[in-house]
Structures are given as C-alpha cells and as structure tokens.
A and B are shown apart, each in its own frame.
Chain A
C-alpha cells in the first residue's frame, strides 16, 4: 500500500464521498468544456478559415461561460401536449449515463472511482442508457420531428453498439481481462515481438479494431457524418427541438461530456490509458508503479483523450451527413463482418503466439 491510499484511508467516509463527487464533476465537466472550446469553437472555425469567438476573454476563452449564462437566463418552456414528467426527466437520464460511464475510467495506479472486474462490459452496457433518454425525449416532446429524431437515434445507437462491442472483444482477447486497469497494465507492460520500448499499445496491434471502434464512437456520439438524429437542417435538431434553456444545456453538456468520456475509454483501450510504457522507468507490475503517476496519470490520460477527440472532431468537421439507409447498411454490412473477422484473427493469433 503506497502513500496515496494511506492518505485516502485517513479521510472520513463523508470526505471520501465528497472527493469522489468533486472528482467526478471535474472528470466530466473539464474535458467537456475543453473539447467545446478547443475543438467546437476554435478548430471548427479554423477549418472554415475564420477565427471563432474572440470577444469573451482572451481569444474568446470565456465564451462558454457566456453561453451557459445565456442558457440559464432563458425561459424553461415545454410544449402544451408534452408528457411533462418524462420530458423533464429525459436530459437527466442522458447526463446520468455520462456520470455512470466515467466511474470505470482509471486515471492512475490508485486514482480510480471503482475498479470493476468487468469494467469495459459495464461501460458498454451503461453507455446505451443514454439511448433511453434520447428516445423518451423524442417521444415526450409531442413533435413529429422530435419523434423522428428519437427513433433515428435509437436505430443508429443500437446498430453501432454492436460493432463497438465486437471491436472491444478483440482488445479483451488480447489483454485477457475485461478490467480497464488490467487492460492498461497489459498494454504498458507488454511488448511487441520482443521490443518493449513502446509497450504494446493496441492501436498498433489491434488497428482494425481501433478504426471500427472510432467509427462506432462517432456514431454513438451522433457526430457528423452520423448526425441524422440531430440533423439540424432536416429535423430541426431532432429530439432536442423542444428543449430550451437549462434542459438544452444539460443535453449539450451531456453530448460533449460523453464524447470526452468515450475518448478516455478509447485511449484506455487502445493508447495505453494513464500510463507510459513501464519499461521506461523499470516498473513491472501495477504495485511497482511510482506514486507520482497518480498525479501525472490524469494529465497523460487527458492528453491522449485530446488526441482521440481531435480525430473525432476532424472527421466531424470534414464530412457531410450520410443518408439513413447508408448508415444502417454501413453498420450491418461492413463494420460487423469486418469486426467478426477481426475477432477470429485475434483469437487465432492469440493462441498461436
């Protein structure tokens, strides 16, 4: 037991709970805010040869606070024929699934919220809860555009859940564990063909799985080119049409916080998570990792998350929207067969080596 866990052990239970809640808020809101400012505001503008927000704060860095202030001022409207209780519940379900998702992400050797044995299984299961929120948001709005958007979202998220799970199975076979901490350990203490200077990041050895996982994440997050559920030009923002003010804000935070958490999970699965290759510092097991990784780990994970988010947003700003049938055909006829073949090959190679 090293010092960090000793410090934690001396804090009373309510203090630990408070720390966990604060940590969860930071782990969800900080990536979301950074993603929105750096990528949605700035990178998108640069890719369109404009500067984006420049007035609020230096280089518009306070723009998000201005936007949040604007949303908080707005009237909380709901349609007359809406199912009010469910209508108000929907954004909370979407946000709750994000918070449930972040609890399994490991940030350091001892810096985690929970350390499930079946961590990645739990993450994939909980990420589908947000479909419920989106579906009931579309249904309870009493608006045909919202209903169409909600149904599209349900169809899309179910279709892309499958290649995502199948892509993860390759990683799980290679690591031999479903525990996210174990996957980090397997990547960073592993070696590729005897060379251990880079560890064994699965982005190299599971590249097909990585590509399929990233495409599925793109679709799960309803980012362009898979943004038919929100499709502002044809469905007037789909399931979010009737939401305004604070509830829209929750949807907005939920969208980008989920993007951040998914990027964290992707970097844990494929880029080695919070750790650097263990051979750099002569570590071999999880217990031998130095204590300072509990502080450096979150920063490393954050950097890797930013790399993944850059890819997601780059694709988002480059491609036009697919058609609904193209989307379904792509998932069922292309991604799922490829990922099945990938699983088979991974299993064969795992046994062979």
Chain B
C-alpha cells in the first residue's frame, strides 16, 4: 500500500515524457538525415602524418590488439655536412591500421615520440566489407586534413622543445 503513490508517479513520468516528445520533439536525431557534430577532440579516427614517422614500431608494439601493421626498410641519405658519412634513415613502406580490430584506446597516439599519429573526430567510414576497414598509409594520410588544431597550452605550462 505505501508503494501506491510511487506507482502513479511513475505513470506520470512516462506520460510526461510522451507529451514532451510529441510537442517538443525527441532527444534523439534521425541520423542519416540530420547529423550531430561530435565534440572537436572526440576519438573518431586516427590520422597519420607520414613525414614524422620513423617506423620505430612503438605504436605497433603498444597496440593492445595488434591492429597496426608497419613495414619499412633502411636507406642511406646524403650526409648533413659536406664530407660527412651518409646517414641511415628508416623509410616507411607500409603503415596500416585495421579499424575492424581497433578499439580506440589511443595508446598509439600517446606513445608516438615524433607526433606522427593524431586523433580526428571524423566517424563516418563504415564499409560493407570488413576487409575495407584496413586503412593504408595513403588513406590514413588523408585523415590528416580533418585533424583539428591542437589547443593552446595552459598558462604556465612547461613547454617542451629546444630551449
């Protein structure tokens, strides 16, 4: 018996939501027709800045489900100063992320020592075939255009880099 007022209150809540949805519209959006912009720093897709990548394999090794595939080879580049030895550089042959496996933990982005990986809020890249979820380095490079500008550092933040 003491529960009876609560029962009617519950009925009132659902009826109130019903009336609000009819008069003011739903809280949801009809996705393919209208789209909500995700927050600017949301984790949609990982973009690759190929020029920064040294194929150090840190990201591939730290990936929890091994969804990053990297292949590279070493090349000799001309010396920096005249008369010096030719430098050895790592050339990137293959950089694939399998988004069918990726769980969007972001460890690869955090671990990259050379700022080659970035988060982008882009999310509409589902495919009819699961094999197409493997993005190669060209496609990952194209995502770079959607990467937002890094936010300003806070006042007094310790700025890394050359002193």
Contacts and interface: CB of A to CB of B under 8 A. Distances in A.
Interface residues of A, number: 14
Contact of A46 (B7, B13, B17): B17
A318 B13 contact: yes
A151 to B, nearest CB: 28
Contact of A54 (B14, B17, B27, B30): B30
A319 B24 CA distance: 24
Interface in A305-329: 314-315, 317-319
A48 B11 contact: no
Contact of B17 (A47, A51, A315, A319): A47
Interface residues of B, number: 15
Nearest to B15: A314
Interface of A, secondary structure class, is helix
B77 interface: no
Contacts of B30: 51, 54
Given A43-B18, A314-B15, A49 B10 contact: no
B113 to A, nearest CB: 45
Interface string A73-108: 000000000000000000000000000000000000
Contact of A50 (B10, B13, B26): B26
B20 interface: yes
Contacts of A317: 14
B118 to A, nearest CB: 34
Interface string B1-21: 000000100110111011011
Contacts of A319: 7, 10
B130 interface: no
B22 interface: yes
A319 B18 CA distance: 15
B14 A47 contact: yes
B10 A318 contact: yes
Given A50-B27, A54-B30, A314 B11 contact: yes
B32 to A, nearest CB: 9
Nearest to B13: A318
Contacts of A314: 11, 14-15
A49 B27 contact: yes
A49 B26 contact: yes
Interface of B, secondary structure class, is helix
Most buried by B among A45, A51, A319: A51
Interface string A46-73: 1111110010000000000000000000
Contacts of A45: 21, 26
B37 interface: no
A314 B26 CA distance: 18
B28 interface: yes
Contacts of B27: 49-50
A274 B133 CA distance: 60
B14 to A, nearest CB: 4
A320 B20 CA distance: 22
Contacts of B10: 318-319
Contacts of A50: 21, 26-28
A318 B11 contact: yes
A54 to B, nearest CB: 6
Contacts of B13: 318
B1 to A, nearest CB: 10
Interface in A181-237: none
Nearest to B29: A51
A219 to B, nearest CB: 16
B15 A51 contact: no
Most buried by A among B7, B20, B26, B27: B26
Nearest to B24: A49
Given A47-B17, A51-B30, A319-B7, 15 more contacts: A45-B26, A46-B17, A46-B18, A46-B21, A47-B14, A47-B15, A47-B18, A49-B21, A50-B27, A54-B30, A314-B14, A317-B14, A318-B10, A318-B11, A318-B13
Lowest 5 CB-CB distances: which A-B pairs, in order? Answer: A46-B21, A49-B27, A318-B14, A50-B28, A47-B14
29 contacts: A43-B18, A45-B26, A46-B17, A46-B18, A46-B22, A46-B26, A47-B14, A47-B17, A47-B18, A47-B21, A49-B17, A49-B21, A49-B27, A50-B21, A50-B26, A50-B27, A51-B21, A51-B26, A51-B28, A51-B30, A314-B14, A314-B15, A315-B11, A317-B14, A318-B10, A318-B13, A318-B14, A319-B7, A319-B10
Interface of A: 43, 45-51, 54, 314-315, 317-319
